Amino acid sequence: MPSYLLRVQLEDRPGSLGSLAVALGSVGADILSLDVVERTAGFAVDDLVVDLPPGAMPDMLITAAEKLSGVYVDSIRPHTGLLEAHRELELIDHIAAAPTKHDKLQVLADEAPKVLRVGWCMVLRLCDTGPDATGLEVVAASHGAPETAAQSAPWLPLEHAEALDGTADWIPQVWRDFDTTLAAAPLGDHHTAVILGRPGGPDFRPSEVARLGYLSGIVATIVR
């Protein structure tokens, strides 16, 4: 059965999640896992992995969920693989086990998309001499990372994790064509950063940016 990652905003009150589960079940959806992305005063943002029966359209999930008062579907995307309860720890273990610094950064790029629920990941370095005239080097990139690389990164050097402006002039047009939302964090020094891309959105929540910063700090210590 096809699986989808459904991000929903809903009122943070007793029974709201149960009502959502009933609504999704009414269209044949089977909830496989749930992850709390963010909680603020009065509402929550949750990620749900759901299975749909063969032939069922994912739009059914949106219709069923938004029939409920106080529920808004932020995004829906195809999903492969179950969410793992300790995926950050597993990623850190895999990075630590890699033999060289470059290998560690490649493991980060390869596995971060699944852990952080994004489309792709790159590690970029701002240097005096690089593979292009700007001195912007792609140190590592995941499967699915854009073949068209950025020619500049005016947001480097970077002091802390932050969401990046997806409409900025430095962003290649093909990234914009896919409506890619971006977030980045320094990786050991202000001139090296890990950048995440999420084609089609949704926007990065503050809690996701903070999580990226926390993870990049740990990885920087391991790599160093």
* CATH number for the domain harbouring residue 32: 3.30.70.260
CATH number at residue 172: 3.30.450.40
58 and 103 belong to one structural domain: no
Q: Which of 52, 78, 104 corresponds to the end of one domain? A: 78
For the ranges 32-41, 97-106, 160-169, 209-218, the lowest mean pLDDT is seen at 32-41
- Record the tokens describing residue 188, joined without a space: 């050991």
pTM of the predicted model as reported, rounded to 2 decimal places? 0.76
Indicate the pairing of strand 3-11 with strand 71-78: antiparallel
135 and 204 belong to one structural domain: yes
96 and 179 belong to one structural domain: yes
Query: Quick one: pLDDT at residue 85?
Result: 45
pLDDT digits (tens, 9 = 90+) for 27-65: 999 988 888 889 888 899 999 989 998 888 999 999 999
Question: What are the percentages of helix, strand and coil residues in the chain, rounded to 5?
Answer: 30, 30, 40
125 and 204 belong to one structural domain: yes
Domain residues for 73?
3-78
113 and 54 belong to one structural domain: no
Query: Quick one: pLDDT at residue 2?
Result: 82
Residue 25: pLDDT over 90: yes
22 and 110 belong to one structural domain: no
144 and 69 belong to one structural domain: no
The residues, any chain, with a CB within 8 Å of residue 57's CB and separated by 6 or more, are none
Q: Which of 78, 112, 135 corresponds to the end of one domain? A: 78
174 and 110 belong to one structural domain: yes
Taking residues 76-97, what's their average pLDDT?
A: 77
48 and 159 belong to one structural domain: no
Model confidence band, residue 158 (pLDDT cutoffs 50, 70, 90): very high
Cα 150 from Cα 193, distance rounded (Å): 14
Q: Answer yes or no: are the C-beta atoms of 182 and 191 closer than 8 Å.
A: no
Q: Which of 58, 78, 98 corresponds to the end of one domain? A: 78
Render 53-82 in DSSP notation, one character per residue. -TT--THHHHHHHHTSTTEEEEEEEE--S-
221: exposed, middle or buried (C-beta count within 10 Å: 0-12, 13-18, 19+)?
exposed
Which H helix or E strand runs over 112? helix 101-116
131 and 48 belong to one structural domain: no
| Total count of domains within the chain | 2
* SS3 at position 45: strand
- Record the tokens describing residue 31, joined without a space: 């909830």
Query: Quick one: pLDDT at residue 133?
Result: 42
60 and 92 belong to one structural domain: no
Query: Quick one: pLDDT at residue 40?
Result: 85
Cα 157 from Cα 193, distance rounded (Å): 8
